[in-house]
């Protein structure tokens, strides 16, 4: 369990070290092992921590490459990835607290943080791409700030409805008797709601507004091509005499 008794884990490590360097009849036994439930839990926890150190950076790298390929900008992909990471970490903290202090679990299962982060990152970036792709189209007509406002107005209803439905689906996992699935459902459900109503509605539009048109550097949307050329505009404003 993540967040379990760290003192017990430290004792297990100490016992393992002493066994591996133990002397019996003046002969060391370097291959000595320590068994039992506590030792097994320690091994599972260490393996889960190793998986998180390897897989989470790989997941983030894949997401970043996809964002660069789609948006063709230098600042937008890392900005969106940072917002996604912060939202996922907030969901993990909130969901972990709820699992322990509200639902009464002793700790998080070892597999819960990795799978919850995987779902939160994938689903968060999915709807973010939908929003930002629309914002880029609108920016060609109205600039980065107004383009994001129009994108949020156009996609807000669809994204919010989809987020609520998806959060409800994951919350259904909370009724299952498996601790890991229950905790994943709690964390991902809360994370989707947080991403829907806070990250995509407030954080990302605020960041795009603060950064402005530089968010699309070096491939700025070509605003000029969507504006009528004054040289070809009718002198009387398009009104027939």
Between the alpha carbon of residue 161 and those of residues 12, 71, 151, 158, 237, the distances in Å are 49, 25, 16, 5, 43
Does the pLDDT value for residue 128 go beyond 80?
Answer: yes
Task: Please report the DSSP string for 141-203 in residue order.
Answer: HHHHHHHHHHHHHHHHHHHHHHHHHHHHHHHGGGGSS-HHHHHHHHHHHHHHHHIIIIIIIII
Tell me, what DSSP letter sits at residue 229?
A: P
Beta strands 23-24 and 27-28, pairing class? antiparallel
Domain ranges of the chain: 40-221
123: closest CA among 182, 179, 59, 69? 59
Q: Please state which architecture CATH assigns to domain 40-221.
A: Up-down Bundle (1.20)
115 with 179: CB under 8 angstroms? no
User: Can the peptide bond before residue 20 be classed as cis, meaning omega within 30 degrees of 0?
Assistant: no
**Integer Cα distance of 6 and 207 in angstroms:** 39
196 with 164: CB under 8 angstroms? yes
Segment 65-96, tens digit of pLDDT? 999 998 888 899 999 999 999 999 999 999 99
84 with 124: CB under 8 angstroms? yes
Q: What is the per-residue burial (b if ≥16 Cβ within 10 Å, else e) of 100-124?
A: eeeeebebbbbbbbbbbbbbbbebb
Tell me the average pLDDT across 199-204. Answer: 90
To 10 degrees, what angle do helices 112-171 and 179-194 make? 70
Does the pLDDT value for residue 231 go beyond 50?
Answer: no
**HSE of 183, CA atoms in CB hemisphere, 13 A:** 27
Given pLDDT bands bounded at 50, 70 and 90, which one contains residue 226? Answer: very low
More confident residue, 233 or 136: 136
pTM, entire model: 0.74
Residues near 102 by beta carbon (within 8 Å), at least 6 away in sequence:
none
In the prediction, which pLDDT does 223 show? 53
């Amino acid at each position: 369990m993540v967040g379990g008794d760290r003192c017990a884990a430290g004792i297990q490590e100490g016992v393992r070290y002493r066994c591996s360097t133990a002397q019996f009849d003046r002969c060391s036994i370097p291959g000595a092992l320590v068994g039992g439930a506590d030792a097994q839990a320690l091994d599972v926890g260490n393996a889960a921590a190793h998986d998180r150190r390897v897989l989470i950076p790989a997941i983030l790298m894949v997401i970043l490459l996809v964002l660069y390929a789609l948006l063709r900008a230098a600042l937008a992909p890392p900005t969106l990835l940072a917002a996604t990471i912060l939202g996922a970490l907030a969901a993990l903290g909130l969901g972990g607290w709820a699992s322990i202090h509200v639902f009464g679990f002793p700790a998080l299962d070892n597999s819960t943080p990795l799978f919850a982060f995987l779902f939160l990152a994938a689903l968060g970036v999915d709807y973010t791409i939908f929003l930002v792709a629309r914002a880029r189209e609108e920016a060609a007509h109205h600039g980065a700030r107004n383009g994001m406002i129009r994108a949020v107005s156009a996609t807000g209803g669809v994204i919010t409805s989809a987020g609520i439905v998806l959060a409800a689906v994951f919350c259904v996992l909370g009724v299952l008797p498996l601790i890991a699935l229950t905790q994943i459902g709690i964390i991902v459900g809360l994370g989707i709601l947080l991403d829907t109503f806070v990250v995509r509605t407030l954080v990302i539009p605020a960041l795009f507004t603060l950064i402005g048109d530089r968010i699309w550097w070096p491939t700025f949307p070509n605003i000029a091509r969507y504006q009528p050329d004054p040289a070809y505009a009718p002198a009387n404003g398009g009104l027939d005499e």
